[in-house]
Amino acid sequence: MDNAPVGVDRAVIPESFVRDGGRRDGGRAFLLVVADAVFAVGVFYAAADLWGSNRVVPLTTVVPVVVSMLCSGLAGAYRQREDFLALRFAVEHFLGQAAAAFISTALVSLLLTYGSSAQPSRGLMLTWPFLYFVPSLIFRRMLASRERRQRGTPIIAVVGSEGDLGRLRNELHQQDWHGRSLCFAPDLFGTPETAAEAIAPHAGRISAVVLGPGLTRLTSANFTALVGMHLGWAPVYTWEGFFENHLKKVSLESLSPDWIFQGSFRLGSQSVHQTLKRGFDLVSVVVLGVVAIPLMVLIACFVRCSSPGPVLFFQHRRGRYGRTFNLVKFRTMTTGNQGGTTVTNDKRIIRGGAFLRKFRLDELPQLWNILKGDMSLIGPRPEWIPCADEYSQLIPYYDLRHLVRPGLTGWAQVNYPYGQDVNDARAKLSYDLFYIRNCSLILDFVTVVKTGYVMLFGHGGR
């Protein structure tokens, strides 16, 4: 504490900031709990009327309501600073209610009321949590929007260099982050010795404080101020932490060789996840295959009539652990010209091929690659061998993307447009590494939802 610079107040963020911030978060959580209780009970009885169930007793009401709210809590519905406007929260909240439906049905129907005349309809028990999900999510989104309007445009304070400020601004503008509601305040920029003084007057509007990658030390005064800010008003992130928590990507510039050895990176120990993921792949192939067969027949006839040559196109791609496999897709280029990177308005693309590529319909035959185990439904996009070799030489840590099976769709594909050079490959790698580090069934589900949006509106294909 003796190294505090002269002129810097050690109590820039007073104790009241922490205390008042905690009170505000507690009041918000209490409001959400009360609202959920009202929604849950109201929806349960309304659903009981729809199902014609007249056997609802207090026990069969309290248990499913409590289970549903507990699952909401596990999904982050009462978590401080949870972003209720994010797609990820909506997905987690929905999956939480799916779990609540099965848990409450098992508890009420199989344990508490088994063989009793008070047993409610299983249809009621399985469906009402999904009905409750709707007002619960709408209320949170309305609350988050109201809070944002009251506080004004949120500010991210960057503690570091002007270069750090510019880089973060570019990242956020590229992602159109949070519906363009984010702004930067240049007056908040400062050196580590003056940052806390600059941040304090704007505490009510600051949504996050980001420590630049070049920041190696903080004075005791600034450390005290930032701790107060973190506990009271706005979270303080390291550069890497902000990228992963908010941008959902990895900062390649600050990536170090020991990144893969950090505790949260445990691909090898996720055998249960890998087994479930493979099972999900096989079920998806069967379902999508049956549904897509008529469409694939039409596409095959279309390709055959549009251009002379084979209907299918085969190409060697780099797969898991660097192994080579033969990827199959509908041919969308003239025969003999399928090699190389695709560019905008590529003249090699056959008539109608651009449409197939835009909506990813040319990739439907890759269901066969998934069935064989060469690919997964979700994962990094498999690269053409010459491109993969080039990128591994030019981009550090590029080969880490080969730790998992490549995917028909993936986190990079739904977050970054189609790329055609090494810079695009580097940008996509930041998303691929985020997926590899944080791979989970929830992230896979979010990717599937975003893939549907991309296919529906034709984003990213070329």
- Please tell me whether residue 284 adopts helix, strand or coil conformation: helix
Average pLDDT for residues 415-432, to the nearest whole number? Answer: 89
How high is the pLDDT of residue 193?
A: 52
Sequence-ordered alpha helix ranges (H) in 106-246:
122-151, 162-175, 195-199, 220-232, 239-242
Residue 62 has pLDDT above 80, yes or no: yes
The interaxial angle of helices 122-151 and 87-105, nearest 10 deg, is: 150
Closest CA to 329 of 304, 360, 363: 363
How high is the pLDDT of residue 265?
A: 64
Higher pLDDT, 437 or 230: 437
How high is the pLDDT of residue 397?
A: 92
Q: Would you say 92 and 442 are in contact if contact means Cβ atoms under 8 Å apart?
A: yes
What is each CA distance from 336 to 305, 314, 365, 386, 462, in whole angstroms?
17, 12, 20, 17, 19
How high is the pLDDT of residue 382?
A: 95
Higher pLDDT, 80 or 106: 106
How high is the pLDDT of residue 201?
A: 66
Confidence tier at 114 by pLDDT (50, 70, 90): low
What digits encode the pLDDT tens for the residues 32-41?
999 999 999 9
Average pLDDT for residues 133-149, to the nearest whole number? Answer: 89
* DSSP H or E stretch at residue 368: helix 367-372
Confidence tier at 295 by pLDDT (50, 70, 90): very high
Distance CA 312, CA 356 (A): 13
CATH number of 152-247: 3.40.50
How high is the pLDDT of residue 194?
A: 59
Average pLDDT for residues 263-285, to the nearest whole number? Answer: 78
How high is the pLDDT of residue 381?
A: 94
How high is the pLDDT of residue 11?
A: 36
For the chain, what percent of residues have pLDDT higher than 90?
32
- Span of 114-123, 154-163, 171-180 with lowest mean pLDDT: 171-180
Beta carbons within 10 angstroms of residue 181's beta carbon? 14
pTM: 0.76
Highest mean pLDDT, choosing among 43-47, 96-100, 172-176, 389-393 = 389-393
Distance CA 276, CA 29 (A): 34
Confidence tier at 5 by pLDDT (50, 70, 90): very low
How high is the pLDDT of residue 29?
A: 84
Cross-strand bridge partners of residue 376: 407
How high is the pLDDT of residue 270?
A: 65
Residue 77 has pLDDT above 80, yes or no: yes
Beta carbons within 10 angstroms of residue 169's beta carbon? 15
What digits encode the pLDDT tens for the residues 170-201?
888 777 655 444 444 444 545 555 555 666 66
Residue 159 burial by Cβ neighbours in a 10 Å radius (0-12, 13-18, 19+): buried
Q: Would you say 40 and 135 are in contact if contact means Cβ atoms under 8 Å apart?
A: no
Average pLDDT for residues 409-426, to the nearest whole number? Answer: 88
What digits encode the pLDDT tens for the residues 301-330?
999 998 888 999 999 999 999 999 999 999
How high is the pLDDT of residue 452?
A: 80
Half-sphere exposure of 66 (CA within 13 A, CB side): 8
Residue 209 has pLDDT above 70, yes or no: yes
| Domain residue limits, the chain | 16-150, 152-247, 267-457
Average model confidence (pLDDT) for the chain? 80
Confidence tier at 343 by pLDDT (50, 70, 90): low
Residue 52 has pLDDT above 90, yes or no: no
Residue 92 burial by Cβ neighbours in a 10 Å radius (0-12, 13-18, 19+): buried
- Span of 98-112, 121-135, 414-428 with lowest mean pLDDT: 98-112
* Backbone φ and ψ of 381, nearest 5°: -70, 130
